[in-house]
Structure 1
Amino acid sequence: MRKASGMKLTNRLVAFVTLIVICAIFVIFIGGALSFRKLGQDYLTHYLDGIVEVIDQEMADPDGATSMSRWLPKLLKASNVVELEIGNESGVVYAFKGLQKLPDPSILHHSDYALKQNPGFYVRLQSLPPYTEFTYSIGAMSFISLAIGIIILGLIWGLDWLRRQLLGSELLEERGRMILAGRVDEHAIGDEREWPATASLALDQMITELKDARQERSRFDTFIRTHTFLDQLTGAANRVLFDSRLQSMLQDQDNHGAVIVIRIADWDELVSERGREVADELIQDVGVVLSNLVQRYPDTVLARYFDAEFAILLSQQSVKEVKLFTNQIMHALDRLVPAAPLEADNWCHIGVTFCASGERRGRVMDEADMALRSAQLQGTNSWYAFKKDQQFEDARGSVRWRTLLDTIFNREGVILYQQPVVMLDETVLHRELMSRIRDENGMLIKASRFMRAVEQVGFSARMDKVVVTQTLRLLRQQPVTDALSVNLSVEALLDKTFVKWLRNELLQTPRTVLNRLSFEIPEGGLVKHLDAMRPVTRMLVGLGCKLVVDQAGRTIVSTHYIKDIRADYIKLHRSLVREINLRQENQLFVRSMLGACANTDAKVIAVGVENHKEWQVLQQLGVSGGQGRFFAPELSVEKGTFSNDKVLNMFHKRS
């Protein structure tokens, strides 16, 4: 795999040119020094040859030999000759020795000459080499110094010119580094100084086309999910999505709720007499009324079940709350004035039934239909609730919830359960922590039941603060191989006080601990408040934590946020995973989500895997990991950490 170079092109060329110039100066310096030495030797040899020639001529003249003792010492001293010896086989005829103090006698130059005009005589000389007593002087070396100075100045100017000429290439290289680092949006358009200009323009065009392709793919994925799970006229869920959510709720443990069916009477007559447009306007008006009313229940599913029939799924609500909500629906629909031939006081009827975990979806819908027929028999706009032996009464109001939660938070009585996430390579990614509390009677309450109360009484920030504190404490105590994932509510992240507290807590936590911590944020709230969530998610990722988007697919939203916030993992909502081997529409949704994550670092994880058939289909679709009772049950953290080896052994047995 190719890797980006760690050295800039300009630095490479500057280093190369500088090295070449320095080597050239060094070679010239060595050559000049050797030339000076050779010239000095030649000069000394030539000068000594002249002295020897004069001595030879004077010794050939009888008068000159006698006077040689007078002028020869002066000549030798001026010529830096330290010692002179003239002799033959019989002995030394004349000897001279100077009085100079030599620091090192080994530097003396020794020369022996035979006198041509006086055969049999020789002259032996010891002289100082040239330039021995010379030191550096500006005057003597001015031209060489000037030449070196000019070379250095030329080198500086040349390097500066080279940097300016290659600035465009350096900008283009830096832009490439930023793109490889994932900062494509910030460097989509290049600087005008980038060079080569054709490469810069080509990169601009490719990035523009890539962004368009990504947006088009996101729109296409949203289009697929919308047409698969949403009604095109009202924007509400369709029958496929409603049945999937109802089936998922009935298969989960400790769940209860209510199904409300609203039917418009004489729909076929309205269509035949007034036309489809008038009938569709009435459907849209009813859809708007119902959409406004269900806003107070975040987990409510509103669907257009048939052409003239709406269905509402309320989960974890008491009988009293369901009846109050049904009365509100009835009063709101009474304000609408339907077109003829519909009767203003007998055009809308509502059937209500209650359900709990373990019941069959078909039976629940049959009960709702029977209740609806009973309401129609009353001959007026009314509603009727199916009578069941088992009632799901939870009389705890907001005051009792506030008192209970306040007591729990003051003594940090939140009980943490954990469930591992297993990847395809059979490694445990992390353990998701889930909250539980005990009521006044000591009964364990799941988060799905008390989290709505936490939001209603405004305790979301307090709840998340307690859970994060316990999680950080667990991470410091557990081995470095264990990683934990904690859920954060969007309501708490919108609280600036909580975000500031969370930032300070994470800043005081060692980096090794933060690298083992993941934060899960629900997809619906994240997309709804994306502008406010963007700086919070960047802070969490910047501190070294992993970012997980939870409950993906619970609502139909655009997946462009995946590239925007750069999530590490996307967890599918359990309603998509439940019986996915039998539901082609859920498989289509998962393929769409996987396609949205194709060009990102985000990995898709399936939550709520219950059996091998579901896991086999999910693997074929291309998910990266799974979580659910198929891998390991939910266990209390107080009972000890579930070891990774034990999780994998259980997984192998079930596979």
Structure 2
Amino acid sequence: MENTTPLGNRRFEWIFMRSGGSEVPCEVTLSPVMQRGRRMLHLTARDISERKRNEAQITHLAFHDSLTGLANRVLFLDRLAHAIATCRRAPDRNFAVLFIDLDRFKVINDSLGHAAGDGLLSIIASAIAANIRETDTVARISGDEFTVLVHEPPSPRFAIKMARRILERIKQPLTIEGFELVISASMGIVIGNSGYTDPHQVLRDADIAMYKAKRAGKDKLRVFGSRMHEQALHAMRLENDLRQAIDNGDLSCHYQPIVNLESGALEGFEALARWQHPTLGNIPPSTFIPIAEDTGRIIPLGRAMLHKACAFAASIRGTLPQGDPVIHVNLSPRQFLSRQRLREVEAALDATGLPPELLVLEITESLLMENPRVAKSIMAGLKEIGVRLSLDDFGTGYSSLGSLQDYPLDSVKIDRSFIRAMNDGRDAEHIVRAILKLVSHLRLEAICEGVETTMQAANLMAFGATRMQGFLFAKPMPSEKARSLLERLALGERFTLTGMGS
């Protein structure tokens, strides 16, 4: 770099060598002077080592993530743009982009704190960096999202193998703030070609593939295909429609009976969210619940369902001579970990007048596994209000049967997958028998979900189960039909192995 000053001085930077061989960056100024009638140059050199260090640090911060030291979005997009340009000049050259998003990171961040979350991100960053080549680029582009630019992979299979290796490495158990965690990630892959012109297009497509992987059950990877873009546009429209539906209160509650086959009586209902789209018709919960979770709308959705369910349960009190039915309401992980959870539950009970003992909050087994101490503390607070707690989908999280006694639970819902598997062999029967025996020993109620056939119900009765829920007895129904069901029960009808009868 050379500058000419107004006085005719010349200024430039130069590297000088010390006698020991180390380099010293200097700013050199050459000034014309007259001495003894002769024109001469006067040279001054100023050590600018500190300035160069500061400039290097500023440049580094501008292009790197301050937490992990990885490249940031700006640097990643710049290198991706160069890869695209190279690919367009020489179509035989290629690249690949991996888009990595940690599964359930927000749950960990909210429950253990931001310091623990930052520690986890740093560990994951190191794990990813350790599984790529020196020629590749790994970046943290936001929150819990990482990307990898694979420069000229020998084949598409090479990039996919690298992706699988990274996913396996991320799943290794690790300890954060004294908690042992097992985390997973979802990954989208784009195999670059000369059809791309903009790095943002590549990142968009990798992001689409990543969400496809996440909705396939997490801990998965998906390679982008052109049809995914159309599906992503549809999902975006659905996401906007869902946001409006939640804000406008357009989602409804349906109620599925929970029965006691020993007495034939109704124990209660489970409240289930339903969405009737104005043009697409019925949208199943398996479609809109993940969208609500991904977009953060699960909190207002859960709050609305809690109020509707409590209002319904309060309105049907006194209809059955044997006692008032309880109402089961699912708490999403975000609701469970929300700091407003106690206030929202109390507000729903106060607004509807429902006694707390008639409200059963269902929580998933995975929440207990991920943060046992946090879960116990939250559950203790909910129990102080007077509500009951039920463990939903038990058996799907591979937690210890013995650990159930560590939590203030009132009931356990055995997952439908075990009930369905009883048709295929004796192994599932042994598992169900063991769960029922343990639950009885712990003096908890057991509810068998997904009972669809008379044979399943008869077998469960033989194993000692009495409380069941499933299509054999009734499908989820709107409040009007639920009230009609209550009227029939009040007149003497009962639930039986074949449905309902007098």
2:364 to 498, 505, 522: 522
Q: Do the aligned partners of 1:608 and 1:629 also contact (CA within 8 Å) in 2?
A: yes
Asked if 1:460 is matched to 2:298, the reply is: yes
> Counterparts in 2 of 1:39-50, with a 5 A limit?
none
2:283 to 445, 453, 459: 445
CA RMSD of aligned residues (A): 3.9
Residue 557 of structure 1 aligns to a residue whose secondary structure is coil
Which deviates further from its counterpart, 605-614 or 539-548?
539-548
Asked if 1:651 is matched to 2:457, the reply is: no
Asked if 1:407 is matched to 2:244, the reply is: yes
Q: TM-score, normalised by structure 1?
A: 0.40
Aligned position for 1:288: 168
Q: Deviations over 1:351-379 (max 9, x none)?
A: x9xxxxxxxxxxxxxxxxxxxxxxxxxxx
Residue 417 of structure 1 aligns to a residue whose secondary structure is strand
Gap change, CA 1:513 and 1:500, over 3 Å in 2: closer
Gap change, CA 1:286 and 1:516, over 3 Å in 2: same
Q: Which runs of 5+ in 1 are unaligned?
A: 1-281, 299-319, 327-331, 334-349, 353-382
Aligned position for 1:536: 378
Residue 628 of structure 1 aligns to a residue whose secondary structure is coil
Q: Partners in 1 of 2:307 and 2:463 — Cα distance?
A: 37
Q: Partners in 2 of 1:518 and 1:565 — Cα distance?
A: 15
Q: CA deviation at 1:650?
A: 5.9
Q: Deviations over 1:406-432 (max 9, x none)?
A: 211222111111111111322211100
Aligned position for 1:634: 476
> Counterparts in 2 of 1:72-221, with a 5 A limit?
none
Partner amino acid, structure 1, of 2:330 = N
Partner amino acid, structure 2, of 1:489 = S
Gap change, CA 1:297 and 1:323, over 3 Å in 2: closer
Q: Deviations over 1:83-111 (max 9, x none)?
A: xxxxxxxxxxxxxxxxxxxxxxxxxxxxx
Partner amino acid, structure 1, of 2:379 = T
Aligned position for 1:591: 433
Residue 362 of structure 2 aligns to a residue whose secondary structure is strand
Gap change, CA 1:439 and 1:643, over 3 Å in 2: closer
Q: Do the aligned partners of 1:607 and 1:626 also contact (CA within 8 Å) in 2?
A: yes
Residue 455 of structure 2 aligns to a residue whose secondary structure is helix
Aligned position for 1:564: 406
Q: Which runs of 5+ in 2 are unaligned?
A: 1-161, 173-181, 188-207, 319-323
Q: Partners in 2 of 1:525 and 1:627 — Cα distance?
A: 23
Asked if 1:494 is matched to 2:332, the reply is: no
Q: Partners in 2 of 1:497 and 1:398 — Cα distance?
A: 29
Partner amino acid, structure 1, of 2:391 = V
Residue 430 of structure 1 aligns to a residue whose secondary structure is strand
Q: CA deviation at 1:627?
A: 0.5
Partner amino acid, structure 2, of 1:295 = S
Q: Deviations over 1:435-482 (max 9, x none)?
A: 111335151112121111111101221111111111222223223323
Aligned position for 2:315: 477
Q: CA deviation at 1:324?
A: 6.2
Q: Do the aligned partners of 1:548 and 1:570 also contact (CA within 8 Å) in 2?
A: yes
Aligned position for 1:419: 256
Q: Partners in 1 of 2:487 and 2:211 — Cα distance?
A: 50
Residue 496 of structure 1 aligns to a residue whose secondary structure is coil
Q: CA deviation at 1:589?
A: 1.9
Which deviates further from its counterpart, 554-563 or 497-506?
497-506
Gap change, CA 1:488 and 1:322, over 3 Å in 2: same
Residue 582 of structure 1 aligns to a residue whose secondary structure is coil
Q: Do the aligned partners of 1:507 and 1:543 also contact (CA within 8 Å) in 2?
A: no
Q: Deviations over 1:59-105 (max 9, x none)?
A: xxxxxxxxxxxxxxxxxxxxxxxxxxxxxxxxxxxxxxxxxxxxxxx
Partner amino acid, structure 2, of 1:571 = K
Q: CA deviation at 1:556?
A: 0.7
Q: Do the aligned partners of 1:570 and 1:602 also contact (CA within 8 Å) in 2?
A: yes
Give aligned-pair identity as a percent.
Answer: 18
Q: CA deviation at 1:557?
A: 1.0
Asked if 1:576 is matched to 2:418, the reply is: yes
Asked if 1:602 is matched to 2:444, the reply is: yes
Q: Partners in 2 of 1:461 and 1:448 — Cα distance?
A: 17
Q: Deviations over 1:382-413 (max 9, x none)?
A: x899xxxx999844566434422221122211
Q: Partners in 1 of 2:405 and 2:358 — Cα distance?
A: 23
Q: Do the aligned partners of 2:255 and 2:482 also contact (CA within 8 Å) in 1?
A: no
Structure showing greater radius of gyration is: 1
Gap change, CA 1:536 and 1:290, over 3 Å in 2: closer
Q: Partners in 2 of 1:516 and 1:438 — Cα distance?
A: 28
Residue 597 of structure 1 aligns to a residue whose secondary structure is helix
Structure having the higher helix fraction is 1
Which deviates further from its counterpart, 630-639 or 462-471?
630-639
Q: Deviations over 1:20-70 (max 9, x none)?
A: xxxxxxxxxxxxxxxxxxxxxxxxxxxxxxxxxxxxxxxxxxxxxxxxxxx
Residue 566 of structure 1 aligns to a residue whose secondary structure is coil
Residue 346 of structure 2 aligns to a residue whose secondary structure is helix
Q: CA deviation at 1:286?
A: 8.2
Q: CA deviation at 1:493?
A: 1.4
Q: Partners in 2 of 1:577 and 1:570 — Cα distance?
A: 14
Q: Do the aligned partners of 1:421 and 1:428 also contact (CA within 8 Å) in 2?
A: yes
Partner amino acid, structure 2, of 1:496 = R
Q: Do the aligned partners of 2:312 and 2:479 also contact (CA within 8 Å) in 1?
A: no
Q: CA deviation at 1:546?
A: 1.8
Q: Partners in 1 of 2:231 and 2:300 — Cα distance?
A: 24
Gap change, CA 1:653 and 1:614, over 3 Å in 2: closer
Partner amino acid, structure 2, of 1:586 = A
Q: Partners in 2 of 1:391 and 1:650 — Cα distance?
A: 46
Q: Partners in 1 of 2:183 and 2:235 — Cα distance?
A: 19
Q: Do the aligned partners of 2:364 and 2:393 also contact (CA within 8 Å) in 1?
A: yes
Residue 413 of structure 1 aligns to a residue whose secondary structure is coil
Residue 428 of structure 1 aligns to a residue whose secondary structure is strand
Q: Partners in 1 of 2:398 and 2:282 — Cα distance?
A: 33
Q: Deviations over 1:271-303 (max 9, x none)?
A: xxxxxxxxxxx9x968725958993569xxxxx
Residue 361 of structure 2 aligns to a residue whose secondary structure is strand
Residue 419 of structure 1 aligns to a residue whose secondary structure is strand
Q: CA deviation at 1:651?
A: 3.4
Residue 269 of structure 2 aligns to a residue whose secondary structure is strand
Aligned position for 1:274: none
Q: Do the aligned partners of 2:167 and 2:184 also contact (CA within 8 Å) in 1?
A: no
Gap change, CA 1:394 and 1:482, over 3 Å in 2: farther
Q: CA deviation at 1:577?
A: 0.7
Q: CA deviation at 1:602?
A: 0.9
Q: TM-score, normalised by structure 2?
A: 0.51
Q: Partners in 1 of 2:352 and 2:375 — Cα distance?
A: 22
Q: Deviations over 1:515-553 (max 9, x none)?
A: 222111111123323322223322333323221111111
